[in-house]
Structure 1
Amino acid sequence: MEGNAMATDGRKIVVAMDGSEYANFAFKWYMKHIYRHGDHVVLIYCPEYHAVHARFVEVDITLVAEQIEEEQKKTREFLEHLAEKLKEYGIGGKVKSESGNPGEVIVRVAEEEDADLIVTGSRGLGIVRRTFLGSVSDYVLHHSHVPVIITRHSS
């Protein structure tokens, strides 16, 4: 086999990460149950900045700018943490961050990366909350063109 062919032989796995215990459980579950040497893992993070400007009735542009900068700093630190996680486990792959609706972003990144599988956690929202708020895992499950594994962490 040629050198380049070997690089593409591994599976491409997208794992949704948001810093929650549910996402961490999903990553650990993937590592324990289905990880194979040679997998290329894309850890995807969708920062949610909408909370920054939803708090202000009167807009103080300096305060808003400070809040946005703080959120961006937290995002950079979290992405560095995810990159360290890949190194720690000795996994080939990368970390991506994209803004937008998390479910839509996860599905789009899986398509762009030509993923073989998506792994995500479930927060276990009740029927009423899921009906009104929607569920990232439900969206991914129903819109993905590749298999999806949804892990359920019992708190």
Structure 2
Amino acid sequence: MEDEGEHMKNRENKIVVAVDESEESMHALSWCLGNLSSSKNTSNTLVLLYVKPPPVHSTFDAAGYMFSSDVVATMEKYGTDMVNSVMQRAEAVYRNFHTNAHVHIERLVGRGDPKDVICNTVEKLRADTLVMGSHGYGFLKRTLVGSVSDYCAKHVECPVVIVKHPASA
């Protein structure tokens, strides 16, 4: 029983926050920071997860286009620049947010289909919570395009918080 008490004393919450270029994801991060537990016995690890699209190879893609190595290199550099930009924005949100909670930030970049990468990362990390922004797509667009947040909410084991941006609420 004492071991269980010690475990409860030093509880760590692992929260995955999916971030991208959108204002919605930054709003979800702000919401998350504002709602963290501030217990002295709880530390929070926020995993800022950005998902890059699958790599483009210098061969034919699905549409039959051939990309030269220069185009592929340029696209890769753009992807790296985008990751850095999003992570810098997310870290600025964190720095500008005054919270009493014990928070540790980790940056993680995945590659592939966002819904699969997010679900796999949450499972692999054994996250306690997944926080995502909602792009506020209407029924028709969500039906045609699909919703990453809807998919993740149905396929991960932990609680999922989908935060609507005030403009889309």
Number of corresponding residues: 153
Residues 1:136 and 2:148 are matched in the alignment = yes
Out of 76, 84, 92, the residue aligned to residue 68 of structure 1 is: 76
Given that 2:26 and 2:93 are in contact with CA atoms closer than 8 Å, whether structure 1 keeps it comes out as: no
Unpaired stretches in structure 2, ≥5 consecutive residues: none
* TM-score normalised to structure 2 length: 0.74
Task: Evaluate the alpha carbon distance shift between residue 55 and residue 76 of structure 1 in structure 2; reply closer, same or farther with a 3 A threshold.
Answer: farther
Q: 1:114 aligns with which of 126, 132, 142?
A: 126
> What is the TM-score with the length of structure 1 in the denominator?
0.80
| Structure 2 contact 56–72 (Cα < 8 Å) conserved | no
Cα distance in structure 2, aligned partners of 1:84 and 1:154: 20
- Residue in 2 that maps onto 1:146: 158
For the aligned residue pairs, the C-alpha RMSD in angstroms reads: 3.1
Alignment correspondent of 1:123? 135
Unaligned runs of 5+ residues in structure 1 are none
How much has 1:116 moved relative to structure 2?
0.9
What does 1:39-58 align with in structure 2 at a 5 Å threshold?
39-48=44-53, 57=65
Percent identity, please. Answer: 27
Residue aligning to 2:13: 11
- 8 Å CA contact retained: 1:83, 1:94: no
Q: Is the 8 A contact 2:54 2:112 kept in 1?
A: no
**Distance in 2 (alpha carbons) for counterparts of 1:153 and 1:85:** 15
Aligned residue in 1 for 2:36: 35
Structure with the largest fraction of strand: 2
